[in-house]
Amino acid sequence: MRRPSLRRPSLRRPFLRRWPVLLAAGAGLACLVAGSALLLSGSGAADVGVVPPVVVSALPATPGTTPVTVEIPGRAVRAPVVPVGTAPTGAMELPADPRTVGWWSPGPLVGGRGSAVLAGHVDTAEAGLGALAVLREVEPGEEVVVRGADGRELRYAVTARREYPKADLPADLFTGDGPPGLVLITCGGDFDRATGHYEDNVVVHAVPA
């Protein structure tokens, strides 16, 4: 898949404006499963922690890196990360294999200014639980480790976990400016058999440790 060509100076306003569309549509499509709805049904992801404030920074951009793996050591999770883009429908593309995590490449690099976004399927009928299924249980203070293509190992501490109806994702969760941060997303809530979709998105926020 070809990475979209975006110049970073023009990223801010479109980035903030498009995210509710991307996640509401993209995560709905991404979490379409058959025969595995019982794996994560229920409301087990109560909101916890404090979401980092969105701070617009006038400082020069810090150097970022393309993520290649993500690890949640306390949950025994380690997964490859691949770049993903935006489908013609406006949905965020995700890897078909739930054991692989997608990095939204039109957004910030990991370790750079703004919130880098990693997302993945919660499960599929063929592969079972996805790498990010554990997000429903992650607590503030847990460590997330991202390894970059440049060899750097970036460590983050979880600050909050939130569950949102897909239509109600706040735009300011996803910013192309401000301090470095990390946002991880998968599906949650109840599984709607009529639509074949999970009803919510689980969103985990983390900041550099």
Read off the CATH number of the domain in which 159 is found: 2.40.260.10
Q: Which of 196, 183, 209, 72 is nearest to 137 (CA)?
A: 72
- How many angstroms separate the CA atoms of 62 and 148, rounded? 14
> pTM of the prediction?
0.78
123 is written with which tokens?
A: 């499960």
pLDDT score for 17: 34
Does residue 171 sit within a domain?
A: yes
- How many angstroms separate the CA atoms of 16 and 170, rounded? 9
pLDDT score for 63: 85
pLDDT score for 60: 57
Does residue 2 sit within a domain?
A: no
Q: Which of 16, 29, 2 is nearest to 119 (CA)?
A: 29
124 is written with which tokens?
A: 């599929």
- How many angstroms separate the CA atoms of 48 and 160, rounded? 6
CB 117 within 8 A of CB 175: no
- How many angstroms separate the CA atoms of 147 and 161, rounded? 22
Does residue 6 sit within a domain?
A: no
Does residue 5 sit within a domain?
A: no
Does residue 4 sit within a domain?
A: no
Does residue 76 sit within a domain?
A: yes
- Residue 140: how many other CB atoms lie within 10 Å: 15
Q: Using one digit for the tens of pLDDT, what is the confidence trace for 86-97?
A: 888 776 789 999
b/e code 100-127 from CB counts within 10 Å (16+ = b): bbbbbbbbbbbbbbbbbbbbbbbbbeee
pLDDT score for 173: 66
Q: If you search the block for the tokens 């599984």, which residue do you land on?
A: 191
Report the domain count for the chain: 1
pLDDT score for 23: 46
Domain that holds residue 41: 11-208
**Residue 136: burial class (beta carbons within 10 Å; 0-12, 13-18, 19+):** buried
pLDDT score for 111: 94
Does residue 3 sit within a domain?
A: no
Positions in the chain whose pLDDT score sits under 50: 1-30, 32-44
Q: Which of 130, 127, 135, 119 is nearest to 83 (CA)?
A: 119
CB 204 within 8 A of CB 55: no
pLDDT score for 54: 58
